Amino acid sequence: MNYEAFHQRSVTDMEGFWGEQAGLIHWHKPPQQILDFSQPPFRKWFVGGETNLCYNAVDRHLAARAEQAALVCISTETEQTRSYSYAQLHREVNAVAAAFAALGVGKGDRVVIYMPMIAEAIISMLACARLGAVHSVVFGGFAAPNLAVRIDDAKPALLVTADAGMRNGKPVPYKHLVDEACQLAKFPPRHVLIANRGLDQAMPLTAGRDLDFASLCAEYADADVPVTWVESNEPSYILYTSGTTGTPKGVQRDTGGYCVALAASMKYVYNANPGETMFTTSDIGWVVGHSYIVYGPLIHGMTTICYEGMPTRPDAGIWWKIVEDYQVTTMFSSPTAVRVLKKQDPEYLRKYDLSSLRYLFLAGEPLDEPTSRWISDALGVPVIDHYWQTETGWAMLTYLPGVELKPNRFGSPGFANYGFNIRVINEATGADAEPNEKGVLVVVPPLPPGCLSTVWGNDERFVKSYFSQFKELLYTSSDWAVRDDDGYFFILGRTDDVINVAGHRLGTREIEEAVQAHSAVAEVAVVGIADQLKGQEAIVFATLKDPSRVETTDGRAQLEKEVLAKVVEQLGPVARPKHVYFVNALPKTRSGKLLRRSIQALAEGRDPGDLSTLDDPNSLDEVRRAVHQG
């Protein structure tokens, strides 16, 4: 196939193209209309069609591959491996679905899943889908206040958790965070279901609310729960992503469009085959985990690997050992993870038979050329950088080995993916940027299947956040980009106040609010700066109510420690800034707006740009001094 013709048809004959892709999944009732775009920017795909994500991921494979491994959960933290065939996964999902139903969970109800990378988490997601319930997975590293905000937005009937996760050989208790979140929340769930791994012997229980996962599900071990068929546009899940305000946005995903998009992507983007093995090193708390640990590979009839552990423990060869042991054909990771492995002895990579591996896909943050060259040379297989967002659910920019694999250009995630009509727009004029001219990456609506349908409970925020930057109705990615003379795209970073730390999106506003919660802080600005390992790191500049607190080195170190602890307490370790700098003034315009881009430039040793509106020139020297002193 020819990429250009394939992509062109996907954006000029959307209904014909996606009508064909709809045949890749099972429909209980076929769609009556492929696309309804009568209320832009809202769109509906496969209108009137009825399907179910769990049926497509599990049930429909029973006839042909019941005994094939569906899910393999490997933990180098507990040194346990659990494998489930499609038949066994079907049995487990039915038992959990029956248990959820017994607790009152039904179609349209929300279930918050706050769990480590264990089988129960994935089975819970599939059980929700079976019942037509809406799951909202919250990353296990988030702190109680962060979890409480998500509980109040989703208003769940049930919360599923574990006693603890594990990181680097040490238990990370979850249950006390759940208890605190339930106390903080205005709409706590009626029940909390706990997978007890025996890692937190002192775990407190709340009578009447807390139930044991294994015991309850054992009561329904032989249950047969019929699939709840849902209309294509009914929600399948909510996944929260950082925004430019302190309140996270609940990305709402549909059912039919998402299922079709993932099924097609396994074929065209990942060039994978049923019966093969996919190993995605992400976490189910992120969109990559939803799409390519859970739903994508299973919908395609593959074996999927769920990994709990570090990429360097017990040694830096563990991921490559998994590739050899399970004959992995398709691997998906992040540039940050590869940069970590690049620092290790290359012998760890050479000692395993990696001949089964056909592709390594990377996403999460821009891939630098040295890292790309190192892993390409080391593996001897195509390393494919691709770009996507929580909002899109699958890749916006990519190379397409399942269609036509174009030559790789280092630093570029390739071309517009099929279904995405992508442009680069001049921020000031709204006109198309010239080749090699920096602009904002946008998508001409309607968005293809698989992308968010709205922000949960807030259509107005959906329109304002994503479709209001330009006079023309365009979805904005809020990322800077350029397209070169040959059509290759390059991503240059965020246009807004969201930073990307090792593939995790963090709102600077969220971190600022957490810092502001410290009683000593008067004002605060948080910016993201370039980091060789993680892509970006958050740093804090704060003014104090009493500057004398940081007159000594010890005083400054103590207060920085307290501020960092406040961020971890409010948001979790994932949001911990790299540095806190205390200054006497922050650069602002005469109207009082913080000049964050100038602060970021100074922190990175760059030209701070146009400062014609600067109120106090001394404030720039304050930032320079703080960064120089370290």
Token match 């019941």: residue? 66
Paired with 69 in beta bridges are 85
User: What domains can be seen in the chain, in order of their start residue?
Assistant: 88-228 (3.40.50.980), 498-629 (3.30.300.30)
46 close to 65: Cβ distance less than 8 angstroms: no
Contacts of 474 (CB under 8 A, 6+ apart): 423, 425, 442, 443, 444, 445, 467
Residue 319 CA: distances (Å) to CA of 76, 333, 521: 11, 10, 43
Model pLDDT for residues 582-615, shown as the tens digit of each residue: 988 888 765 556 777 788 888 888 877 666 556 6
pLDDT at 612: 54
In tens, the pLDDT along 557-573 reads 999 999 999 999 888 88
The neighbouring-strand residues paired with 443 are: 422, 475
pLDDT at residue 17, rounded to an integer = 98
Residue that wins the pLDDT comparison between 146 and 459? 459
* C-alpha count within 13 angstroms, C-beta hemisphere, residue 594: 19
550, pLDDT greater than 90: no
Predicted local distance difference test score (pLDDT) of residue 506: 78
Find all residues with CB under 8 Å of 629, minimum gap 6, and list them.
none
Average pLDDT estimate for 238-267? 89
| pLDDT score recorded for residue 517 | 85
Place of tokens 């790789």: 408
Query: pLDDT (tens digit, 9 = 90+) per residue, 165-222?
Result: 998 899 999 999 999 999 999 999 999 999 999 999 989 899 999 999 999 999 999 9
Q: Is the pLDDT of residue 115 over 90?
A: yes
Please report the DSSP string for 57-114 in residue order: HTGGGHHHHTTSEEEEEEETTTTEEEEEEHHHHHHHHHHHHHHHHHTT--TT-EEEEE
pLDDT for the residue 241: 86
Give 337 or 26, the one with higher predicted confidence. Answer: 26
CB atoms under 10 Å from CB of 202, counted, come to: 8
**Between 422 and 545, whose confidence is greater?**
422
Of the chain, the percentage scoring pLDDT greater than 70 comes to: 97
Question: Do the Cβ atoms of 320 and 379 come closer than 8 Å?
Answer: no
pLDDT for position 571: 85
* Token pair listed for 525: 């600005």
pTM comes to 0.86
- H/E element, 425: strand 422-425
Amino acid 622: pLDDT: 82
Helical spans, DSSP H, in 441-507: 459-466
Cα–Cα distance for residue pair 391/156, rounded to 1 Å: 22
- Across the range 534-541, mean pLDDT stands at 88
pLDDT over 90 for what percent of the chain? 71
pLDDT tens for residues 304-340?
999 999 999 999 999 999 999 999 999 999 888 888 8
Residue 73 has pLDDT above 70, yes or no: yes
Distance, in Å, from the CA atom of 567 to the CA atom of 240, rounded to the nearest integer, reads 19
Task: DSSP for 144-206, please give it.
Answer: HHHHHHHHHHH--SEEEEESEEEETTEEEE-HHHHHHHHHH-SS--SEEEEE--S--TT----
Residue 458 DSSP SS3? coil
pLDDT range class, residue 413, cuts 50, 70, 90: very high
DSSP-derived 3-state class of residue 530: strand
Beta-ladder partners of 500: 505
Mean pLDDT of the chain: 92
Question: With bands split at pLDDT 50, 70 and 90, how would you rate the model's confidence at 26?
Answer: very high
Sole residue written with tokens 């497509």? 56
Which residues partner with 249 through β-bridges? 241
